[in-house]
Amino acid sequence: MRTDLLARLATHTQQRDQAGLRRRLHTVTRADGMWVERDGRRLLSFCSNDYLGLAQHPVLVDALKRAADTDGVGSGSAHLICGHRSAHAALEEALAEWTGRERALLFSTGYMANLGVMQALLQRDDVCVQDKLNHACLLDGAQLAGAELKRYPHGDIEAASRQLTARPDAGALLATDGVFSMDGDIAPLRELAVLCHHENATLMVDDAHGLGVLGARGEGSVTDAGLSARDVPVLMATLGKALGCSGAFVAGSAELIDGLVQSARTYIYTTAMPPALATATLAAVRLAQSEGWRREKLGTLIARFRAGASQLGLPLMPSPTAIQPLLLGDTAAALTASEALEREGFLVTAIRPPTVPQGKARLRITLSASHEEGDVDRLLDALSRLPTARPV
Ligand SMILES: Cc1ncc(COP(=O)(O)O)c(C=O)c1O
């Protein structure tokens, strides 16, 4: 008898529920900086990726409104048909200049950018070597491209080297998050660049959580590590995190970008992002570049949180960035802690498997330049009263 697909999916959902892993959607009815209203309650959020506090900045809002007055809402088409507007071109130019690359190409989401790059670069006989903790879309991208996917233990250069040398004749892409999304630590980019140079492999960095946050002008983790476009020929970053907007881009040589325009299906066969959004994002880039105080303030808040959490003996992870997870291990412990924080007026989501490995459930606390020192102190105070927030 044929399998009932809907019944099978329902069984899977039920199993997730029984294991305490059911994902639930909550509607935010109002957002005001780091404050959100959910289920009729006002909560101070420590889980957004709006690291520089730009998502509701009046300059961005104004840019979006004014551009919509002239450009309308939808782009009306894919880039290659008639959807590519001056606003897209101006944003691409600014992103290329910011990241020190010849050119940049916009995608509608980071997920699509990574799928598109992998599918354009990789073929069946190639190998794609990736850090085990890379974001899901990098892993999916390699699999969809049909290349051999090899995953090395987190940050383990020697293991990565062994995986590359095992396939000396294959085309090879080594892909890594610049800043790991669930752990907050930074990839050993210099060592990876040396390895790729030695092995003739292409290095790709997904800097979704580094752009805007790291580097003197927010250029991201690659520039911050002192690496050039030659060291990291494929740079991808998103626009929906520190820049407070939505979308993503790939930056690199003119040859790379031209190749993506020819071959990246997630670029070719989809509607271009709304041009007004591109205009607002350009305003965000300018603010991120010029307002260094946002990065400085974020740095102060990170140091304050880490000092306080370490004094309390909380299970901090070795992260220097705005992502400051507390590793609780047990799924139930992470959920209980998140619920207890919510009762105290804080929104901190519990991150559970399969997003993180089994036994590594955590509270993913993120900081933003929109937080104040008093906010961090109040969060620490609430954390100090959690019985479950203890080292695993
Ligand atoms: C490292 C990383 N890459 C890519 C993405 C996907 O980007 P987007 O949300 O724009 O699809 C995310 C998160 O969303 C991410 O954390």
Domain boundaries, the chain: 25-52+292-384, 58-290
- For residue 112, the ligand 1 atom closest to its alpha carbon is 11
Q: Which secondary structure element, helix H or strand E, spans residue 152, and what is its range? A: strand 148-152
Task: Pick the closest to residue 335 from 373, 305, 361 (CA basis).
Answer: 361
* Token pair listed for 39: 């289920």
CATH of domain 25-52+292-384: 3.90.1150.10
Name residue 41's beta-bridge partners.
38
Task: Pick the closest to residue 264 from 371, 112, 139 (CA basis).
Answer: 112
Name residue 106's beta-bridge partners.
249
Q: What single DSSP character describes residue 356? A: S
205 lines ligand 1 (CB under 6 A): no
- Beta pairing, strands 41-45 & 346-347: parallel
Pocket test for ligand 1, best of 47, 51, 111 (most atoms within 8 A of CB): 111
137 lines ligand 1 (CB under 6 A): yes
Strand order in the sheet with 248-252: 103-107, 248-252, 234-238, 202-206, 172-177, 127-131, 148-152
Q: Where are the alpha helices (DSSP H) in the chain?
A: 5-18, 58-71, 86-99, 110-121, 136-145, 157-165, 189-199, 221-224, 254-263, 265-268, 275-290, 292-311, 331-343, 373-384
- For residue 240, the ligand 1 atom closest to its alpha carbon is 10
Tell me the CA–centroid distance for residue 386 and ligand 1, in Å.
30
Tell me the pLDDT of the chain (392 aa) as tens digits.
999 999 999 999 999 999 878 888 999 999 999 999 999 999 999 999 999 999 999 999 999 999 999 999 999 999 999 999 999 999 999 999 999 999 999 999 999 999 999 999 999 999 999 999 999 999 999 999 999 999 999 999 999 999 999 999 999 999 999 999 999 999 999 999 999 999 999 999 999 999 999 999 999 999 999 999 999 999 999 999 999 999 999 999 999 999 999 999 999 999 999 999 999 999 999 999 999 999 999 999 999 999 999 999 999 999 999 999 999 999 999 999 999 999 999 999 999 998 999 999 999 999 999 999 999 999 999 999 987 665 54
Tell me the CA–centroid distance for residue 135 and ligand 1, in Å.
7
In this structure, which topology does domain 58-290 adopt according to CATH?
Answer: Aspartate Aminotransferase; domain 2 (3.40.640)
Name the pTM for this structure: 0.96
Tell me the CA–centroid distance for residue 211 and ligand 1, in Å.
12
Pocket test for ligand 1, best of 238, 241, 246 (most atoms within 8 A of CB): 238
Tell me the CA–centroid distance for residue 207 and ligand 1, in Å.
9
Instruction: Write out the catalytic residue numbers.
Output: 181, 209, 241
